[in-house]
């Protein structure tokens, strides 16, 4: 059982508490805390500290700053994270968390510090100075900080994870449901007709008829396709990732961060899935394969960089994801259909599938969502029409008719 004592020094009170023995030297350790205005305040601190010592949760305060810890934490987790995941962590930590919380001693980090930082991010967090971060990005920054502080607790650097406290979560900005812009079946058909003679047509058709993510589409290899059975296996993805080391060096020199470079990685859910290919999509892929073998490879000759990619630049190299998105935007503008992002082709496929009566579980598996709740939550706008269809179907069974 730990013990402590209180004594008066001038006009204030000081507490000395036994915090146990050093794990290696076994020497007795004591913690002194002064400056209490009343003996009652000193007694309250002593009782709290003794409880922590007896429960094994007491952490000796250090002079480590939050910014210093977060720097070390990033270095420690780098090898265990996907490059894209680490890049997003590093961007949030160095761009937003350290500038706002780095000067605070780690053991003194409080809910008030976090709430003030999050409010400032939402108000003026954009690095280009054009406004604040979205509630979604603020929540992501909070999630990253919570992970970092959870590690700090396990390592005995702090006694509690302030980012996990309910008061902090309640003060986070209320997330807004993302607005998905989707095309109707007629609009999607018009767009596909417009690009039917375009070199990108096979890629756009595949995305429109399967809901593949951009990275999954650009990472697809011929070995992943079974055109005979009409199946595609999603085994790798192509992402645009910043070179973190180059960015750090650039910031130290006061220069702008570098550009994103393409990098292959594993799918978002870390598990292989297969998606069915409609007959029209299979036929387009067969024609694309023939053209790639006979035209592009022949023209490039020995300079062709064969990576077995289904969709590649004329020399066989990967298509940069951002360049691909730009090409899509140009074609959307030319087609005269409502402007959407490339990712909205995925939302369009899911919405049309649900509205057509495809079971949500099937939609979940094709999209690669980890659980059906994500699918239903993301595409709740399609549920009302499904409910009306279900009501009419049941009524027809009971009363007859169609």
Whether residues 217 and 331 share a domain: the answer is yes
Q: Give yes or no: residues 102 and 245 share one domain.
A: no
Read off the DSSP letter of residue 309: B
81 and 220 fall within a common domain: no
Instruction: Examine residue 353 and state whether it is found in any structural domain, yes or no.
Output: no
Residue 387 belongs to some domain of the structure: no
Domain boundary among 171, 205, 240: 171
Q: Residues 191, 80: one domain? A: no
Residues 190 and 271 in one domain: yes
Last residue of a domain, one of 339, 371, 389: 339
Distances 374 to 9, 88, 367, 379, 396 between C-alpha atoms, Å: 61, 22, 10, 8, 31
Query: From the first residue on, what is the mean pLDDT of each consecutive set of 10 residues in the chain (402 residues)?
Result: 80 85 71 84 86 73 90 95 90 95 94 95 89 94 97 86 93 81 94 96 97 96 97 94 69 64 82 91 96 80 87 92 96 96 94 87 89 81 64 69 54
On whether the CB atoms of residues 201 and 328 are closer than 8 A, the answer is: no
Give the domain extent around 94: 66-171
Shared domain for 225 and 327, answered yes or no, is yes
Residues in CB range of 173: below 8 A, 6 or more apart: 118, 119, 122, 135, 138, 139
CATH number of the domain within which 222 lies: 1.10.443.10
Total number of domains in the chain:
3
Confirm whether 303 is domain-assigned: yes
Q: Does residue 135 belong to any structural domain of this protein?
A: yes
Considering the domain architecture, whether residues 206 and 266 belong to the same structural domain is answered as yes
Q: What is the pLDDT of residue 258?
A: 60
The pLDDT value given to residue 144: 97
Going across the sheet that includes 28-36, the strands are 4-9, 12-21, 28-36
pLDDT at res. 293? 86
Q: Is there a domain that residue 60 lies in? A: no
Same domain assignment for residues 195 and 147: no
Per-residue pLDDT at 1? 46
Shared-domain flag, residues 195 and 166: no
**CA–CA separation, 378 vs 158, rounded Å?**
37
Question: In this structure, are 44 and 73 located in the same domain?
Answer: no
Q: Which of 171, 199, 215 is the C-terminal boundary of a domain?
A: 171
247 and 322 share a domain?
A: yes
What is the helix (H) or strand (E) element at residue 16, kind and residue range? strand 12-21
Q: Which of 259, 205, 260 is nearest to 232 (CA)?
A: 205
Q: State how far Cα 402 lies from the chain centre.
A: 46
CATH of the domain at 120: 1.10.150.130
- The pLDDT assigned to 237 comes to 94
Cβ-Cβ contacts under 8 Å for 241 (sequence gap 6 or more): 83, 84, 87, 260, 261, 262, 263
**Is 358 within a domain?**
no
Determine the pLDDT at residue 86. Answer: 92
Q: How far apart are CA 102 and CA 148, in angstroms?
A: 13
């Amino acid at each position: 059982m730990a013990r402590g004592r209180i004594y008066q020094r001038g006009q204030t009170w000081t507490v000395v508490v036994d915090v146990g023995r050093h794990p290696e030297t076994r020497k007795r350790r004591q913690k002194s805390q002064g400056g209490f205005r009343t003996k009652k305040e000193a007694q309250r601190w002593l009782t709290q500290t003794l409880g922590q010592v007896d429960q094994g949760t007491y952490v000796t305060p250090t002079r480590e700053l939050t910014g210093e810890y977060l720097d070390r934490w990033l270095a420690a987790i780098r090898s265990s994270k996907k490059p894209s995941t680490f890049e997003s962590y590093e961007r949030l930590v160095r761009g937003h968390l350290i500038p706002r919380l780095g000067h605070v001693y780690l053991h003194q980090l409080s809910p008030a510090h976090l709430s003030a930082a999050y409010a400032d991010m939402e108000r003026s967090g954009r690095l280009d100075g054009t406004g604040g971060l979205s509630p979604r990005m603020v929540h992501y920054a909070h999630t990253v900080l919570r992970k970092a502080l959870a590690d700090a607790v396990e390592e005995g650097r702090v006694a509690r994870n302030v980012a996990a406290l309910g008061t902090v979560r309640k003060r986070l900005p209320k997330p807004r449901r993302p607005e998905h812009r989707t095309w109707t079946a007629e609009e999607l058909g018009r767009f596909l007709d417009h690009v039917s003679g375009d070199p990108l047509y096979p890629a756009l058709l595949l995305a429109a008829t399967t809901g593949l993510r951009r990275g999954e589409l650009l990472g697809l290899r011929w070995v992943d396709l079974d055109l005979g059975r009409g199946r595609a296996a999603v085994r790798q993805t192509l992402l645009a990732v910043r070179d973190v080391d180059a960015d750090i060096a650039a910031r130290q020199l006061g220069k702008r961060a570098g550009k994103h470079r393409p990098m292959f990685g594993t799918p978002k859910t870390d598990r292989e899935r297969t998606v069915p290919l409609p007959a029209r999509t299979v036929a387009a892929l067969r024609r694309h394969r023939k053209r790639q073998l006979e035209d592009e490879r022949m023209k490039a000759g020995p300079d062709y960089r064969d990576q077995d990619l289904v969709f590649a630049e004329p020399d066989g190299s990967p298509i940069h994801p951002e360049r691909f998105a730009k090409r899509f935007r140009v074609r959307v503008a030319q087609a005269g259909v409502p402007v959407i992002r490339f990712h909205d082709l995925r939302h369009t496929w899911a919405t049309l599938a649900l509205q057509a009566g495809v079971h949500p579980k099937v939609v979940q598996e094709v999209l690669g969502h980890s659980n059906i709740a994500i699918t239903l939550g993301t595409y709740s706008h399609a549920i009302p029409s499904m409910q009306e269809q279900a009501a009419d179907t049941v009524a027809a069974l009971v009363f007859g008719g169609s």
